[in-house]
Chains A and B, each alone.
Chain A
Amino acid sequence: MSSLVGFLSLVFAIGINFYLFLSRYIFKFQKQKFNLFIRFSSLLTLLSFFSLMYAYVVSDFSNYNVFQNSHSNKPLIYKISGTWGNHEGSMLLWLCILSIFSFFFSFTKNIEDNFQKLTLIIQAFLHILFGLFIVFTSNPFLVNSILVNEGLGLNPILQDPGLAVHPPILYAGYVGYSIVFSIAIAGLFQNTDDEWIYVAKKWSLISWTFLTGGIALGSYWAYYELGWGGWWFWDPVENISLMPWIAGLALVHSLMMVRGEQAIKKWIVFLSILCFSLSVFGTFLVRSGILTSVHSFAADASRGIFILLIFFIVTGFGFLVFLLKEPKKSNALNLLFINKVSALVINNILMIIATLTILLGTIYPIIIEVLYNKRISVGGPYFNSTVIPIMIPGFLLMSIAPILSWQTNKINNSKKYVLAFIILSVLVILQSYFLDFNTWGFVGLLLGFWIILASIIAIFSSYKIKINIKFFKIINPHVAHIGVGIAIIGITCSSVFQNELDFNLNEGDKFNVNGKTVLFEKIETTNEINFQSLRGKFLFDIEKNQSKKIEAGKNYYPVSKMITSEAGILHKWNKDIYFILGDQKNNEWFVKVLINPFVSFIWLGVIIMMYSGLIAISRR
């Protein structure tokens, strides 16, 4: 029953959007009526999504999708997250978020009626495309042709609280760019005043903040769930989330900077189209199963071709409009050797080069396999040695960009900065001389600390310190950059200065980690509701009274017959001690211990960036 309701409301919502799309040419609507229709279609799409969720919650196995991906033994939260833990459901979530964005956009004030209408019509067009995709190739409401009373279970690797919320937040970021795309295209068509730039700014900040959160959650999940000790693997799916993120970052900066320069406006339109294109391209790569990764779902060529077609239509349409209706050219850029505009241009160029480099590495295996029928994989070594060097000049520029002037080449207080930079360099050189020297470690630390230091100097020397909301809004760009600096320090330390220790242990053995004695207490197996767990129990620092317990092990999920690894992590502010329980051989357990310094700085940096994204949204 709920499946029927879900399917009908999905189809009905697509119908309304089709009607709205035609309204540009055939039926003319009042603004009020038009907005009501948009909101109604959003509610229908929501209803459709919640019907599917309901089917999951009550374990309605007459729905084929529920049967394939759920099990009545699962805890409620994973029944709910099972809704989007599979291809069909996640596409419905995609559509649902698209219509939620349209819903909220229909309430935007201060923009011209026709412009708002045109934006929403483009949204309706996107809704139709993805709606038809769901109905024809990925219908989550199919009826199960056989009668069953139990389901096949959810991929156990997805049975994790972090991953339950990761897809919706990430999708909110991806799909949020649809609004930015629609605004930019509508802007090209109407070619009126610059009001749309302020509207686009807000929405692109919202999308970017969501995307940041989504990527961070995913990478945090990979850190503690995959049990490989790292948090970023240059997996194709990670790469395709990084591309719109970097392009989106370029977009946000351009939107902040624009002062009526036509060239920048043109660039903004280009970036807006690019961001959403990359989002759709990412959806294509994941959903067609064309690239193998931890995210691969069953591959289906017809699905792939359908999304490829959508990608082609959306991106082709966007860039074609851009080609035909390019904004009129007028006042040139005020480029000086070093002022805000030139810093912005350099920053944007670097970000686009980085995006293209990642794009090339990601699709290179496809090209090679088509041409030579060989399977290759492009991974960490390529990306580390190309993307990072491209970003470094951008990071350097970032430390001083917010204090550059618009009109002149001068930097206020430049002596202070030079002095600070010299002192800092000496300190970092000393640090790397006395500890182990590593080029990347040196560069990363210097860069990270320099960004933080320069931003702090800028805050103290350029503004009067007051504790009120307005002050926090003014210093927001510096705060964001401090977040980046902190993240860079975390990234550098945890990857360059990571330490690995291997042990073969019996229960009751004591061993030494980082100068502290650790006791391997025992191995314990227990039966949980939907899995069996095997845990190695460790006591860290037994000499102290408050020794810490660490559990590392594996889970076995009998329904899907899969084993997942569960790392045991002891979090400290300056390092994570990361335990991995390996296999048992000759009555000895293999235990790997990783010491990851300053990992918490990465998450702290990301949280600061998101905070400053939120502040920027509230600022006009």
Chain B
Amino acid sequence: MNRIFILTPLIVLLIICIFSLVYLLSGKDPNKPPSALLNKDVPIFESSSLYNAKDIIKTKDIKNKKTLINFFASWCSPCKIEHPLFFEIRKKYPELYLLGFNHKDPTSDAKKYLKDDGNPYDFVGVDSEGLIALEFGVFGLPETYLINEDGKIIYKFMGPITMDILKNEIEPLL
């Protein structure tokens, strides 16, 4: 009896650790409630091009095509890491529309960044105040959203995408 009493803390410890471990390993993120944004309509936005202020993109412009939206900035080093992957995506899925939103960045820095590292996007929208990011519920850069032909968000990823994520999570949806 006494023995069981003393063993209890160890058993409780084991249970807590197992559950926490499963939780952590399952890649759940408390900041990303399960499927909160998924299957919702893409937020309404309007943004001008980085290269030509008269060139405007609106929500309705991305209807009827699959779109990958990526929020990036020149000051964001994880963005630099994922950047080359967008060229791969471009090559492999030429029909996918790549929309980049430049987040809280001076125009000159953004242009220089895309000149040095290359520009994989079909359109680079300016989000200098971060208002579009606010609509999308962007938590930190980079963030990537996949929108289907009906204008619904079918996938969201926080942080730099990697080859594994591209292969296992994004490609099956394309």
Contacts and interface: CB of A to CB of B under 8 A. Distances in A.
B43 interface: no
Contacts of B27: 301
Interface footprint category on A: 35 or more
A320 B13 CA distance: 11
A323 B7 contact: yes
A296 B104 contact: no
B22 interface: yes
Interface in A298-318: 298-299, 301, 304-305, 308, 311-312, 315-316
Contacts of A320: 10
Given A292-B31, A299-B31, A284 B20 contact: yes
B165 to A, nearest CB: 14
B44 interface: no
Contact of A363 (B16, B21, B24, B31): B16
A290 B75 contact: no
A469 interface: no
Contacts of A561: 104, 129-130, 134
A291 B30 contact: yes
A296 B33 CA distance: 14
Contact of B23 (A290, A292, A311, A316): A290
Interface in A346-372: 363, 366-367, 369-370
A323 B7 CA distance: 7
B77 A145 contact: yes
B118 interface: no
A311 B29 CA distance: 20
Contacts of B24: 288, 290, 301, 304-305, 308
A189 interface: no
Contacts of B104: 561
A239 to B, nearest CB: 14
A148 interface: yes
A505 to B, nearest CB: 28
Contacts, number: 83
A152 B29 CA distance: 23
A375 B34 CA distance: 7
Nearest to B139: A298
A319 to B, nearest CB: 5
Contacts of A144: 77
Contact count band on B: 20 to 34
B17 A308 contact: yes
B174 interface: no
A292 B129 contact: no
Nearest to A274: B9
Contact of A322 (B6, B16, B21, B26): B6
Interface in A271-301: 273-274, 277, 281, 284, 288-292, 296, 298-299, 301
A304 B77 CA distance: 23
Nearest to B15: A367
A311 B134 CA distance: 37
Contacts of A273: 9
B99 to A, nearest CB: 21
B19 A298 contact: no
A290 B32 CA distance: 11
B65 interface: no
A312 B17 contact: yes
B173 interface: no
Given A289-B30, A366-B20, 15 more contacts: A146-B75, A288-B24, A289-B31, A290-B20, A290-B23, A299-B29, A299-B30, A304-B20, A305-B21, A308-B21, A311-B17, A323-B7, A323-B10, A370-B26, A373-B34
Interface of B: 6-7, 9-10, 13, 16-17, 19-31, 33-34, 75, 77, 80, 104, 129-130, 134, 140
24 contacts: A148-B75, A152-B75, A277-B13, A284-B20, A290-B20, A290-B24, A290-B30, A292-B30, A304-B20, A308-B21, A316-B13, A319-B9, A319-B13, A320-B10, A323-B7, A363-B16, A366-B19, A366-B20, A366-B23, A373-B34, A374-B34, A375-B33, A375-B34, A561-B104
